[in-house]
Every structure is written in C-alpha cells, then in structure tokens.
Amino acid sequence: MFFLFSSPNAPTTTAAPLLPEPPASAPRTGETSVQDALTLASRTTGVSFEYLVKTARRESDLDPRLRSKTSTATGLFQFLDDTWLETLKADGARYGYGQYAGAIVRTPSGNLDIADPALKQQVMALREDPLANAVMGGAFTNRNAADLRTVLGRQPTDGELYVAHFFGSAGARKFLDLVGTSPAAPADTVFPEAAGANRPIFYDKSGRPRSAAEVYAVLVKQHGTETTTQATASAPQPTMPQPTMPQPQALPQPAALALAAEQAEPLLPFAFYGLFQTERSSPVAADVRSMWLPQTARAAYAAGPGKTTGTAGTPLELGTFARTPDAAAGR
C-alpha cells in the first residue's frame, strides 16, 4: 500500500492515486496486491493508473487469476499465450523479466516458443502474477500509444487506446480510418468477423447495425475522451516495428465524438474483451474509487491457483478477430 504524508509547512503532494482500501477479505498474491501491482505498473511504464484500472476491470473484473473459458486468456489483462510471449519477448528485459524474455525464441514457422517445457510452463503461469501482468499490460499499451500517435498526429485519448486494444494495432488503424472517412458506414460490413463475435457492440438492441461512428462511441464510452496516458521521459519508449498501414484522412478529434459517446446505449458490464490482440498525478475519478474486487471475484480468487475460470475477455489474434458471442454477452 502507498500512503500520503504531509507536514503543516509543506504542500500536500500525491505519491500515486489510490484505490479505496480493500475489504479485509480481499485476497493478496504473494507480496503484491492488485492495487499495488497497478500502482507500480503505472509508475514503471508511465501508463496512467486510472487507465490501467479501468482496462483491467473491463478485462478481468480485477481478478488476477481469471482464466477465460473460451481461450487461453489469463490474468488481470487477459493475456493469451501468443500475446504474452510477444510482449514479454519485446519488453521483458527492460522491466526486469530478462531471464524469461531471453528464453523466448522465434521458430522457423514464425511463432514464438520456449524450448524447455518446464520453463515455458513457468513463463505462462507468470500471467497470474498481478505485478508481471500489469507491467506487461502497461508495456503493451505504450506500444499501441506510439502506433496511434503516428496515425493521429497527437496523443491518443484513453478511449482511442482501448480501440487499439479491442481491434489490435493494425485493426485500429483500419477502423479509425473508416471512422474518419466514412463515419456513417455500417461497421459490420468492414469487420464482419468482429461483428459476429461482438454483437452488443456492432448492433443496437433492435438488431440494427451500428455505423462506424456509433461503434467508436460505444468502445470509447467507458474510457472517455481524456488523455491520461502520455509518453514521459522516465517511461521506456517502444521499439517494436509497427505494421505499415495507409495513413487515414480526417480522423475524428476526441471532442467531435464526445456527444455520441454520451448518447451511446449502455452495455452490460464487461461487454468488451481482448485487451491484447493475439491468439489473439491526478485525483482518481469516482468510478475508479468503486473498482475494488467484487464479492464474486474474491470468492473465485480464494479457490486457489488455476481454479478460476470465467467468460473473461477473448483476446483477438494479431490481425484477426476471434471473439465469441458468449464472451461478448458479459461476465
């Protein structure tokens, strides 16, 4: 836990935003609680604490041991096998996980793997460690932010970052291009696979296909149009090569779609999944203050390692869409 201290003769400073004090029954993993993991991940990677909390809540309900029933998605940010290896390989060494990153090799087929089965099992199990998962989540977010900056010509908003998490980096470029050039176009015709697996996002309650602008509004609504995650001098800059994509024209500014986001139909909690697309200091906002582990997550977590399963996020394969209707229906 982190606490604030001040003296009568000194201005009050905030060391880090705080989640509310968890209930006494809230579980701890090793020496790092979920709150501490998110705080440390924010300090280490430069990604805003509030953004990490909101995203982890959408992905796993803040349950560090949650495993998807429909994929290999595991942990706070629901990393799937391939994405975990890709992110750990790219950023593990700079964040203290070099012994694992160095063991990950690319096979002749182009996939990432670890030759030693026992070590591979250990590396994959590391996803259930909230600190490792949160730090790699921040690292992945930084990569998406860097890619979006080249497309948008500015810092992406938190909502736009979640668009990148939802579609993947390349898919987000294509989607934002569609929003900027043909906002009224039905999004399901351009992203049929994603639409089929995420009907609550691509269709309204009557079954009417949503336009690209409307899908954008639904995706960004829970994260908002503020920019809380920016590159800082202390945050390592991503170096992963980014896919070459056409530069979109007339991309929407955050304020232009703010009203649409406010008017978008509310979805069931946890209707968005797949923060990682393979095999897919400021006051804390009011909604963040209510984000500690709910009773169901605490009970599941207490069941022990490897025993928590649920309809967690079904992350997409890089460049593909593999979500399931069950996942889109909510946890």
What are the residue ranges spanned by the domains of the chain? 34-294+317-328
Beta bridge partners of 310: 68
- Catalytically annotated residue among 59, 86, 128, 160: 59
CATH number for the domain running over 34-294+317-328: 1.10.530.10
pLDDT of residue 16: 39
Q: What is the reported pLDDT for 91? A: 96
pLDDT tens digits, the chain, 331 residues: what are they? Answer: 433 333 334 333 333 334 434 333 334 444 479 999 999 999 999 999 999 999 999 889 999 999 987 778 899 998 889 989 999 999 999 999 999 999 999 999 999 999 999 999 999 999 999 999 999 999 999 999 999 998 889 999 999 998 988 887 888 999 999 999 999 999 999 999 888 877 889 999 999 999 999 999 999 887 866 665 554 333 443 333 333 333 333 444 444 444 444 444 443 333 333 333 433 333 444 444 444 434 433 343 344 444 444 444 333 332 332 333 333 333 3
pLDDT of residue 59: 85
Whether the CB-CB separation of 57 and 275 falls below 8 Å is answered with no
| pLDDT recorded at residue 230 | 53
What pLDDT score was predicted for residue 229? Answer: 54
Tell me the C-alpha distance between 174 and 176, whole Å. 6
Please tell me the predicted confidence (pLDDT) of residue 136. 96
pLDDT for position 98? 95
Model-level pTM?
A: 0.60
Cα 182–185–190 angle (5° rounding)?
100
Q: Is 279 a catalytic residue?
A: no
